[in-house]
Structure 1
Amino acid sequence: MHEPTPPSAPHPGLQRWLAIDTSTERLSVAVGAAGAAEPLAAHDGPGGAQASAVLLPTIDALLRRVGWRLAELDGIVFGQGPGSFTGLRTACAVVQGLAVAARPGGVPVLPLSTLLAVAEDARHRAAPNAAALDVVAALDARMDEIYTASYRWRAGQGWQVRSPARLVSPAQLPVHAASTPMHSDDGAALPTLLAGNVMPVYGERLPAGWRASEAVLAWPHAAALLRLAAAGIEAGQCTAAAGAQPLYVRDKVALTVDEQAALRAQRTPNP
């Protein structure tokens, strides 16, 4: 039996958006216009276990800073995953609550991939003027695994998903873009970035093709979600509060004793 599809939200305005991400050990919140290069106000700091305690006060502080009331928001965009189970549940619960409480009829919400936000963060930092760009976004998923997805950016067209979010081991991180560069329509090789936080974590355990490529430390910042929001709105991805649901990718967060022993053995160098 299929679960009912949440009702879609009406096409919202673009000027007053709240962006939230709690999918990693960092907490990121921003307010501004959907599609704007920079937010009006933002907060990036420690999250993790304390995210649920500080998220609402942080949102309140940012709204006060720019002189907005919750009821005046055009919408709320958030990183729906993949990422920390607890972090994703925190974001979804807060977004649903705020969207319903803001005003009668609710505020539209826009769930976006955290990996797409990582790709956008890397593009904005490392190649803001690129006409075309390939990005493999990768976040540490703990338990010796990586969340990854591949994207292509084209100026004037935005982002295209080349491979969807999935879970891989460090050795399985796709290297097609690093070892065989993609080409634009005119045959020129496109720049390729490895975006995320896996290079400092896994380093030499990643495929050799990546160790010779350009890696950009990037996160699913709320500012990146704001930049992506305009395209998501245009694509009709906004939904009512009930549509604020997590994208887990992984369906297991605990290892058995035997699995823990096997993982330790994999990490122990041979004598």
Structure 2
Amino acid sequence: MTTEETGSGWGGGRFVPRTAELRRWRMDWERWSRGPEAADGLRRWQADPALAGHSASVAGLLDACGRDRSVPVEVADGRLAALVAHARAGDGAAVRVVLERVLPALVVTAARRARSASSGGARGDVAFGDVLVELVAAGWEVICGYPLERRPRKIAVNVARDSTYRAFGYVPIMERSTFYPQVLPVVSAGLDGRPNPGIGRGAGPGADLLEVLAEAYAAGTDPAAVRLLVDLTINGRSQAEVAEREGITDRTVRLRRAAAVRSVRSALGVDVRAVAGGVAG
């Protein structure tokens, strides 16, 4: 990988792909952006007030959505949100444009993971291509289900981050030091493995709290603190259960919970207790 493949010149004249996977992607993108699906999409988006002034070309629309770094983030987010809304409604062309917008970040992630694979004895180029394919597939799914209502800001960053979670986060949560929201059970279980009436995953306060905790982790909150709050809220475990598992006292669990709440509030300025309906308080 080179900086030419991950820098701000992506998609412009300065970008020179030097791996087979990126060359294929670039050729496919150039064909698509000149084809009928892209042209139909541009015509549709000209009827959208947020996109009308930027839908003369796919390149111009990408720049307006933040590929041009001189566009303020909040302005780019408004336009990107409009495209994501079309994508969520089944507009495949919109998905493709949003995916192209976040592709530089996915390339950086793939390159980083390829270097790790290479240091373990795998061929870097092969690992890079495999990782990028996984990230692109995950990105498509993330864009189609992106929660605009809860996360209307920093959309490109969030899509790239969520794509990484989706592609590489399917491991038991208590077996990793990293917190991945996708692995939380729909029906939580106690220490004996039987269903436990926790908040669960889906709509309602549990989903809102999960969103807060995922953002807190991404903002740098200690994964151990996030996992503790997940256990006590999303997974519905009691302080006594956590204390038994960790070999500590109930009082220590309470102190750690209080510290975890403070950490999340410091990272995001969000009151976890309010989001969780008092569960974490």
Do both proteins adopt the same fold according to a TM-score greater than 0.5, normalized to the shorter chain? no
Higher-strand-fraction structure: 1
Query: Greater RCO between the two (CA within 8 Å, min separation 6)?
Result: 1
Structure exhibiting the larger radius of gyration computed from Cα positions: 2
TM-score where L is the length of structure 1: 0.25
Higher-helix-fraction structure: 2
TM-score where L is the length of structure 2: 0.25
